[in-house]
Amino acid sequence: MKSVFSKRFRSALGLVMLSVVLSGCAAIMSSAATNLSKNLSSAILNQDDPELVRAGAPSYLLLLDSFVAGSPDDPAILAAGATLYATYGAVFADDELRASRLTTRARRYASTAMCEVYAPACDWADATYDEFVASLDGLRPRNAEYLYTYGFASLAFLVAHSSDMNSLAELPKIEALFNHYLDISGDELNVSAYTFMGQLLTLMPPALGGKPEIAREFFEKAVVATDGKDLSAKVEYARGYARLLYERELHDRLLNEVMAADPYQDGYTLSNIMAQEDAAELLAAADEYF
C-alpha cells in the first residue's frame, strides 16, 4: 500500500508550495531579503534538475527551524516550516524512517499554527469525524491559507505513514477539510486543492466509497485553472480516474499530452519535469495494467 499511496501524491505535492515557504521567510526579513526570497522561489520552481533541489533544500529546513525556535508561537513561521518539511518529506525523502520524521515535524508545525489562529483546532488530534467537521464551520477566509497548509502537511504525513491503517481512516477528515477550504478560499484559492480532491476521491473504487465522477470534475478543474500548464494534474487524472475505471484511451491521451508538452512553464517547471517522469513510467506499464 505504501508505494502505491506515495506515488499517488508525489507529483501533485511537488514543489508548488515552495513560494509560500519562502514568502513566509521573507515576511520576517528586510526588504532586500524579501526580494532575494522571491527570486530564489522563482529559481527553484523553474529548476529543471530535481536532484539539485533535493541537495539544496535541507539548508532551508535548518533555517526555518531556527526561526521557529526564536518565535515558537508565530503562525506564519510555523506554516512556512510545515510546508517545506512536508514537501521535502513527501517528495525527496526516499528512506521510510526519514520521511516519517520529516512529515511528523511538518504536521506538528502545521497543527501549532492552526491552534494559534483558530482555537478549536487545538482539539483536532483527538476529535471524531463529526466533531472535526463541525469545528470547520467556524473557519473564515482569513484562516484559509493556514487551513490549506494544515491539509497539505497532513497529506504528506499520511503518505509517509500509509502502511498504518489509521492513516487511511483519517482521509475522510482531510477530504472534508479541503472541501471547506474550497468554500472559503475565494480569490486566494490554491488550485492544487482541486488535484488533491480528485486524488482523495479515487483512492478507493466506487464499491468501497470512491467517487470517481466527482473526482473527474476536480481533475478537469485543475487542468483548466492552470490552462494546462501544471502537467501533474493530467498525470493524477490518468493515474487516479482513468486507471481506476480502466479507461485506457483517456489514460493514454492524458499521458501522451504530458509527454508532448513543454515542461518549461513559469512556476511549474520543476513539478512538470517530475510529472513527465511519472507519465513515462505509467505509459511503460500500461499494457500490463490494462
**Model pLDDT for residues 180-201, shown as the tens digit of each residue:** 999 999 888 888 899 999 988 9
Q: Classify residue 82 by burial, with Cβ atoms within 10 Å: 0-12, 13-18, 19+.
A: buried
| Residue whose entry in the numeric block shows the C-alpha cell 472559503 | 184
Per the CATH hierarchy, to which homologous superfamily does domain 191-290 belong? TRAP transporter T-component (1.25.40.920)
Cβ neighbours for 159, distance < 8 A, ≥ 6 positions apart: 5, 6, 9, 13, 90, 99, 103
Predicted local confidence at residue 16, as pLDDT: 44
| Residue whose entry in the numeric block shows the C-alpha cell 477550504 | 181
CA distance 272 to 216: 20
**What's the predicted TM-score (pTM) here?**
0.87
On whether the CB atoms of residues 270 and 53 are closer than 8 A, the answer is yes
Predicted local confidence at residue 14, as pLDDT: 53
Phi, psi of 119 (to 5 degrees): -55, -40
Predicted local confidence at residue 259, as pLDDT: 98
pLDDT digits (tens, 9 = 90+) for 6-43: 556 655 555 444 544 445 555 555 444 445 555 566 66
| Residue whose entry in the numeric block shows the C-alpha cell 526580494 | 35
Sign of CA dihedral 253, 222, 151, 36: positive
User: Which has the minimum average pLDDT: 103-107, 161-165, 239-243?
Assistant: 161-165
Predicted local confidence at residue 92, as pLDDT: 85
More confident residue, 60 or 21: 60
**Neighbour count for residue 49 (Cβ, 10 Å):** 10
pLDDT digits (tens, 9 = 90+) for 84-140: 898 888 888 888 899 999 999 999 999 999 999 999 999 999 999 999 999 999 999
- Where do the CATH 1.25.40.920 domains begin and end in the chain? 191-290
Q: Confidence band (pLDDT; 50, 70, 90) for 163? A: confident
Residue of 247, 219, 248, 217 lying closest to 231 (CA atoms): 219
Report DSSP state, residue 209: T
Long-range contacts of 251-258 (CB under 8 A, 24+ apart): 251/282, 251/286, 251/290, 252/283, 252/286, 255/279, 255/282, 255/283, 255/286, 256/283, 258/231, 258/234
pLDDT digits (tens, 9 = 90+) for 267-282: 889 889 999 999 999 9
